[in-house]
Structure 1
Amino acid sequence: MKLSAGVVGTVVFLTAIAPLATDMYVPAFPRVAGELAASATQVQLTLTTFFVGMALGQLIGGPVSDQRGRRRPLLAAIVLMTVASVVCALTPSIGVLMAARFVQGFSGGWAMVIGRAVIVDLASGPRLVRVLNVIAGVGGVAPIAGPLLGAVILQVSDWRMSFWAVAALGVAMLVAVLVAVPESLPVERRHGGGLRAFAVAGRQVLSRRRYVGYLLVSGSAMGALFAYVATSAFVLQSMNGLSPIGYSVDFAANAAGMTVAALVAARLAGRVSTRRVILTGQIAALAAGVAMLAGALWFGTPLLLAIVCFLVLMTAQGLIGPNGGALASAEVPEHPGTGSALLGFVQWVAAGTIAPIAGLGGEHTAVPMALLMVGGAVLSMAGLALAGSSERNNYAWRSYARAR
């Protein structure tokens, strides 16, 4: 079975659901609070419940798809996500919105991890790295388009329309999967179900030292990324006086940098060591974090420094995240769904945990965020070291190809 352009395009579509479902309604937080008589903290918790759902959905969806196959669980997840989006649009209270956001995140994470597992089923070696980088690169359009689309919706309608838009995208995703995505996991490659089988598979996956190393590479990078997402508005607007339009342009430029880096990494797959590409990104991310910390401690976080550091950090993520995930998948070819599930779980737990920590210092200091940027880069480097040498990585690729 071949990996077609239709399959890749559909998986790109699936990976876009998280940034779209989040970024499209973030500009409307004040309106949500006013209409639902909720506090700012309660509205922020709708993000937390979404992230928790995303993490759990990926943790559970991967192993289930290893047992049941990819296509049917994927279709069920998209249907559930669409229904949850409709509930979000019709919600009468903040409590219902929190619950619906959890279900939306759970089903969206379920769909994302199965989409990734389909790619792992159908590609291997440098081609797997190339395809995952292309998916990350093209999917990087969503974080750019999300806030802009949400702002446009607020100009012509209310915040509920953003959830109707996500529901419409869910219907489009359902059609795309029905048309383009075949069952990629033959019956003979499936694993028995049950909690015991899941525990066994998880234990086998986590016993691979190199897999755990690449898991740390990707999870730490995700944490640094969401430290930026959670606090960049305060740093650029509250501390430096940048206008909302200026901030949106800068946010889009940074997302574009990440997209370009991921596409460049895709072109380098098979030509340059993937570990070397990751290390380049890690060094750049560490430099950005150190510069940001120095600026926050001694220079009042000047605007130009913050803009440059954010651009370097985001661009570096395009070199680290997709490549780390691809090498992690190569280490567990016998459990691609479980491997993808644990990877997604760690990434979204990092996102949900780091985001509130980054804001602990309030609106007028960038020190906590800068410390998290530095810490994320250092932990990511430690993960790369734990994963071992490039020679071992080459052996993993050969073992992966044989297993297929």
Structure 2
Amino acid sequence: MTDLSLDRTDTGAPVRAAALSTGVVATVVFITAIAPLATDMYVSAFPQVAHDLSTGATQVQLTLTTFFAGMGLGQLIGGPISDQRGRRRLLLLSLVVMTAASVACAVAPSIAVMTIARLLQGFGGGWAMVIGRAIIVDLATGARLVRVLNAIAAVGGIAPIVGPLLGAVILQLSHWRVSFWTVAVLGTAMMVAVLLAVPESLPPDRRHSGGLHALAVAARQVLGQRRYVGYLVVTGSAMGALFAYVAASAFVLQSMNGMTPVAYSIDFAANAAGMTLAALVAARLAGRVSTRKVILAGQVAAFAAGIAMLVGAVAFGTTRLLAISSFFVLMTAQGLIIPNAGALASAEVPDHPGTGSALLGCVQWIAAGVIPPIAGLGGATTAVPMAVILVAGALTSMFGLLVLARALPHAGSPPHQQAPS
């Protein structure tokens, strides 16, 4: 089903907007799922990878770091280039890179080859994700943009639930290399979906020209928007808190509280479901409740969860019930914060959606790569480092929303910003 809408020029004259079809949204959801799938299906196989490639745990963990680095680099470079060259062909090229790198991972004879292939896999995946997001920003504005991005985040939240389960099934029935062949097959399916359902969303007259200099200028213009930077801080801080949870929750619940791996997987899935449900609720609220108020509610909840974890870690040894409850509140809060702040950030830079999405994605994945080692400093003995990160992340996120992205004291927002703000 194709959905057509009317935007308005600065003079108020209606102009026909490009089509945002169900097929486009479904394809972007599909592409968005690649990062958690490529990560979660693989993490549980670390011991087998270390054994088969005759290497240590640290070297295998480095392949996760290089994947996140590739994700950030792919988004940083891919977004501005798509602003200059268009979306569709570059989206297909990025998926080719990601798929080829997945095949290289599947046949990697050594940890060195695996590490390089994971970097390229992340680069292609990040490139594809940022272009997919830019396509949505090209085709939707206002409350509709918020609803679509929240819906994408909600459906994409299924991937962290499916990923570990699919990876476990693959390991049980086959070999860890099959996980990468699975990603390669999915990448091929994504290319077919793009060919069938995704049109070019950025016509030549809306593209930016001038090579690397123009890209640098676009980045400066985007970062010169104070409110955009504020929402960038909001999403980056929330993403850091999310990955602090991912990095340390297994130690807190399994090593410190004796939870079994199966029980932990169920709890992990429940928390991902809470995040997904929150994003769906936020999508329903778009246009009815101020998006900033929804974000603030999530930030307050995340701060409360962090304080509870910190007090529990210092005074009570982080009991199981406290940890489970705090983690659920924390993850549910991220469903209110991350997609909504991303939508408002995009609304601040409508002339450079690819660059805006690129910087947004780059900051998020840098946080995903940097925070886990810090959160893991407590090892299996204390949750204090993780709890401190949760509190600091919530406070920094509030600073981004309430100070950097505060409402301008003069005149109203432009028409494309009024609905979601």
Do structure 1's residue 162 and structure 2's residue 162 form an aligned pair?
A: no
Of 8, 15, 21, which residue of structure 1 is paired with 2:38? Answer: 21
The CA deviation string for residues 42-67 of structure 1, in whole angstroms up to 9 with x for no partner, is: 11101000000000000000000000
Kindly indicate whether the alpha-carbon contact (under 8 Å) linking 1:62 and 1:113 is maintained by their aligned counterparts in 2: yes
1:195 is displaced (CA, Å) by 1.6
- Corresponding residue for residue 365 of structure 1: 382
Residues 152 and 284 of structure 1, relative CA distance in 2, 3 Å threshold: same
Superposed counterparts of 1:324-339, under 5 Å: 324-339=341-356
2:378 aligns to what SS in structure 1?
coil
Match of 1:145 among 149, 162, 181: 162
Provide the rounded CA distance (Å) in 2 between the counterparts of 1:290 and 1:396: 35
1:116 aligns with 2:133: yes
Which amino acid in structure 2 is aligned with residue 373 of structure 1? L
Structure 1 unmatched ranges of 5 or more: none
TM-score by length of 2: 0.94
Normalized per residue, the structure richer in helix is 1
Change (3 A) 1:165 1:193: farther
Aligned residues: 402
What's the offset of the Cα at 1:361? 1.9
**Separation in 1 of the partners of 2:172 and 2:165?**
11
1:182 aligns with 2:217: no
Structure 2 residues without counterparts, runs of 5 or longer: 1-17
**Helix, strand or coil: the match of 1:270?**
coil
Match of 2:339 among 308, 317, 322: 322
Residue 399 of structure 1: how far off its partner (Å): 4.7
How high is the sequence identity, in percent, across the aligned residues? 73
Q: Secondary structure at the match of 1:185?
A: coil
Which residue number in structure 2 is paired with residue 356 of structure 1? Answer: 373
1:63 and 2:80 matched: yes
Deviation per CA, 1:112-136, whole angstroms, max 9, x where unpaired?
A: 0000000000000000000000000
For 1:98, the aligned partner's letter is T
CA RMSD of aligned residues (A): 1.4
Q: Identify the match of residue 223 of structure 1 among 240, 243, 252.
A: 240
Within 2, Cα distance between the matches of 1:58 and 1:167? 20
What letter is aligned with 1:77? S
User: In the alignment, is the contact (CA less than 8 A) between 1:330 and 1:397 conserved in 2?
Assistant: no
Q: Distance in 2 between matches of 1:385 and 1:272?
A: 17
- SS at the partner of 2:193? helix
Deviation string for 1:61-119 (max 9, x for gaps)?
00000000000000000011000000000000111101000000001000000000000
Closer, same or farther in 2 for the Cα pair 1:317/1:393, shift >3 Å? farther
SS of 2:390's partner is helix
Report the CA distance between 1:360 and its aligned residue.
1.3
- How high is the TM-score relative to the length of structure 1? 0.98
Q: Does 1:257 align with 2:274?
A: yes
Match of 1:83 in 2: 100
State which drifts further: 384-393 or 163-172.
Answer: 384-393
1:104 equivalent in alignment to 2:97: no
- 1:252-401 aligned at under 5 Å gives the runs 252-389=269-406, 395-396=412-413, 398-399=415-416
Deviation for aligned residue 1:362: 1.6
Distance 1:396 1:321 in 2: 22
Runs of 4+ in 1 over 2 A off after TM superposition: 386-397, 399-402
Whole-angstrom distance in 1 between the partners of 2:405 and 2:110 = 51
Give the letter aligned to residue 11 of structure 1: V
Report which stretch shifted further, 381-390 or 349-358: 381-390
Q: Distance in 2 between matches of 1:289 and 1:269?
A: 27
